[in-house]
Amino acid sequence: MKLKSRVVALIAASALGASGYGLYHLGINKGKDMVGNNAVAAGPDPGAAMAAGHVDPASGKKVLYWHDPMVPGQKFDKPGKSPFMDMMLVPVYADGDGVQGQVAVSPRMQQDLGVRTAVVASTTMALHVKAAGDIAFNERHQAVVQARATSFIERLHVRATLDHVSQGQPLVDLYVPDWVAAQEEFLSLRRMQGTDLASLVDGARQRMRQVGMTDDQIGLVETSGKVQARITLTAPISGVMVELMAREGMTMMPGATLFRINGLSTVWANAEVPESQASLMRVGSAVEARSPALPGTVFKGKVQAILPDVNPSTRTRKARLELVNSTSDPSKLLVPGMFVSVDLSAPGESVLAVPTEAVIQTGTRTVVMLADGKGRFRPVDVQPGIESGGWTEIKSGLQAGQKVVVSGQFLVDSEANLKATTLRMEDAQPVAGVAGAEHLGEGKIEAVGKSSVTLSHGPISSMHWGAMTMDFGAPAPGLPPGLKPGQLVKFAFTMEQDGRPALTRIEPMDGPMATSAMENKP
């Protein structure tokens, strides 16, 4: 029988020997397909001389080590077949995917992900704040009309609150008995002759001032030479009557308030500015306000004060804006209670900025994806500043001229985080609790050895493994009898400290394993 096999082999070799060059390549190709390695007897092994630290001639990159992506905790200093499963070891390069947190994306994948980049630029970012508010009276443009002496109201010219009044308009006619006595004394002294009476006349004039008469009223008494027992009070400013405490026939005591008038030439807009943007507003900055009640009308003004008042419900801070009201047309007046939207724009300083869509807020960090222009990306922590017009200021973390991802960055960031996590797992020491965790699976026996079993298994969800063929170490008590290739089995295994999977249980598919391996199926 052995002799017959040798004869067949010699005949086959003679048939192929006619093309020795083709036989040599056939041997290499068969070696690659069957063994899964470049090491074959027909030719030299191009990777045999390569070791960790050497430069891979195929990629031109320095190789750090080789590993099995399915068992990343184990590192190898030479290429070859994985001892864990039926696949070749994968090199990890010093300037490629081995850099922590960095991920390489091919141009085609970038196109599929819709990756777009933008240049980090130094630009002048204008301050731009929008807020909503309501109109209120300008309390600095207010006048109070009071009775300066005991008087009687004989006639009232303004009879309702919120009536519009103009400066100089009559408000009320008063009869003031105290003024009659002071005026009579003054006029009597004026009629008397003698230069020594000048001081007495001046004293009588001062007493008229003490009872509440103004200089204009005293001048009227002097020029007319008649007692002015009745006086008409006029509006000191134009505006609306916000308080009216007088009625005809009333007796008013000295110091009693008759009228309170508020001007409308300027009004306040109390704007609610978000806490994060309150620092952008400056006292004296120009603002524009618009009201839906007055479409097409723009009211200009300035920031008068940033009030020390924060609304705990809306987390907004109140800003007091002074707006110039339109007095030419009463129908275009801003009145208290009216809603307005406020727009604040002011020139800013030159800052380093990126498009706002490039910034990723994680809750604890602010990250951008930095592109090196060669298909590699890595996340960079940045400190953001103000945001305006679709741009965000970057206070630290980037330099002008660098490129950041503005579209598809979330997918790239996820890939980079996954790569960083894998590298941290490779550098970390195995944890006993994790290594001892039991995983379940189902598969078919390919080969049975003394200390191992080769299984073609389905996905192992608890390990994030796909379907593959790999070797498992035998259980500690040994393999159960009756196992043979082609048999369907369900099994349980743990990962050893060296990264190798070891069976803890294995039995035929119809066996009484307590926990069903179907729980591991996705």
Q: Are 440 and 462 in contact (CB under 8 A)?
A: yes
Instruction: Report pLDDT for 244.
Output: 92
Lowest mean pLDDT among 133-142, 330-339, 486-495: 330-339
Instruction: Report pLDDT for 74.
Output: 72
Judged against a pLDDT cut of 80, whether residue 425 lies above it is answered with no
Q: What structural domains and CATH numbers belong to the chain?
A: 2-103 (no CATH), 104-126+350-427 (2.40.420.20), 146-259 (2.40.50.100), 432-520 (2.40.50.320)
Instruction: Report pLDDT for 262.
Output: 93
Judged against a pLDDT cut of 70, whether residue 124 lies above it is answered with yes
Instruction: Report pLDDT for 160.
Output: 92
Q: Are 400 and 352 in contact (CB under 8 A)?
A: yes
Judged against a pLDDT cut of 70, whether residue 415 lies above it is answered with no
Judged against a pLDDT cut of 90, whether residue 83 lies above it is answered with no
Instruction: Report pLDDT for 467.
Output: 83
Say if pTM beats, i.e. exceeds, 0.75.
no
- pLDDT band, very low/low/confident/very high, at 211 (cuts 50, 70, 90): confident
- What would the mean pLDDT of 319-328 be, rounded to a whole number? 84
Q: Are 262 and 284 in contact (CB under 8 A)?
A: no
Instruction: Report pLDDT for 347.
Output: 66
Angle at 75 between CA 491 and CA 102, to 5 degrees: 105
Lowest mean pLDDT among 149-158, 327-336, 348-357, 449-458: 327-336
Instruction: Report pLDDT for 157.
Output: 92
Better-scored residue on pLDDT, 488 or 213: 488
- pLDDT band, very low/low/confident/very high, at 270 (cuts 50, 70, 90): very high
Instruction: Report pLDDT for 151.
Output: 87
Question: For residue 131, what are its two tokens?
Answer: 């807020």
Instruction: Report pLDDT for 512.
Output: 56
Judged against a pLDDT cut of 60, whether residue 51 lies above it is answered with yes
Judged against a pLDDT cut of 90, whether residue 143 lies above it is answered with yes
- pLDDT band, very low/low/confident/very high, at 294 (cuts 50, 70, 90): confident
Q: Rounded to whole angstroms, how far apart are CA atoms 18 and 29?
A: 18
- What would the mean pLDDT of 135-156 be, rounded to a whole number? 90
Instruction: Report pLDDT for 134.
Output: 93
Lowest mean pLDDT among 295-304, 330-339, 361-370, 418-427: 418-427
Pick from 258-262, 368-372, 429-433 the range whose average pLDDT is largest.
258-262
Q: Are 79 and 70 in contact (CB under 8 A)?
A: no
- Contacts by residues 250-254 (CB-CB < 8 Å, ≥ 24 positions apart): 250/152, 250/153, 251/150, 251/151, 251/152, 251/153, 252/147, 252/150, 252/151, 252/152, 252/153, 252/174, 253/147, 253/150, 254/147, 254/148, 254/149, 254/150, 254/212
Q: What is the pLDDT of residues 68-81, one digit of tens each?
A: 766 666 778 778 88
Place of tokens 């190789």: 63
Side-chain-side CA neighbours of residue 134 (13 Å): 4
- What would the mean pLDDT of 160-175 be, rounded to a whole number? 91
- What would the mean pLDDT of 48-53 be, rounded to a whole number? 56
- What would the mean pLDDT of 190-206 be, rounded to a whole number? 78
Pick from 271-285, 371-385, 391-405 the range whose average pLDDT is largest.
391-405
Instruction: Report pLDDT for 144.
Output: 93
Instruction: Report pLDDT for 110.
Output: 72
Judged against a pLDDT cut of 70, whether residue 5 lies above it is answered with no
